[in-house]
Amino acid sequence: MNFINKLFRKSRSKPNGIFCENLEKIIEFEPQSYAHYYRAFMHSSMQEKDENGSDLNYERLEFLGDSVLNTVISSYLFKHAPQGNEGYLTVMRSKIVSRKHLNLIGEELGLLKLLMRNIPDHQLGKNITGNIFEALIGAIYLDQGYLFSERFIQKCLIDKYVDLNELEKRVTSYKSLVIKWCQKNKHEFEFCTKVDNGCDEQQHFSVCFYIDDEVVSKARETSKKRAEEKAAKRAYYALQNEIKTKALNI
**CB of 101 or CB of 175, closer to its own copies:** 175
131 is in an annotated binding site: yes
Q: Does 188 bind its own copies (CB under 8 A)?
A: yes
**244-248 CB contacts, 8 Å cutoff, 24+ apart:** 246/181, 246/184, 247/171, 247/177, 248/169
Q: Where are the beta strands (DSSP E) in 73-228?
A: 189-195, 205-211, 214-221
Quote the least distance from Cβ 22 to its own copies, whole Å: 25
Beta-sheet pairing, 205-211 with 214-221:
antiparallel
Query: b/e string for 196-230 if b means 16 or more Cβ within 10 A?
Result: eeeeeeeebbbbebbbeeeebbebebeebeebbbb
Evaluate whether 46 touches 118 at the Cβ level (below 8 Å).
yes
C-alpha–C-alpha distance, residues 78 and 80, integer Å: 6
- Residues 196-215, mask of contacts with its own copies (x by CB under 8 A): x------x------x-----
- Contact segment (CB under 8 A) with its own copies among 48-56, 114-122, 169-177, 231-239 equals 48-56
**CB of 22 or CB of 45, closer to its own copies:** 45
62 is in an annotated binding site: yes
C-alpha–C-alpha distance, residues 62 and 138, integer Å: 6
134 is in an annotated binding site: yes
Q: Does 245 bind its own copies (CB under 8 A)?
A: no
Q: Active-site residue among 66, 107, 168, 221?
A: 66
Q: Binding-site residues for Mg(2+), please? A: 62, 131, 134
What does the binding site for its own copies look like in residue numbers (CB under 8 A)?
50, 52, 54-55, 59-64, 66-68, 70-71, 74-75, 78, 82-86, 89-90, 138, 141-142, 145-147, 182-183, 188-196, 203, 210
Which positions are annotated as active-site residues?
66, 134
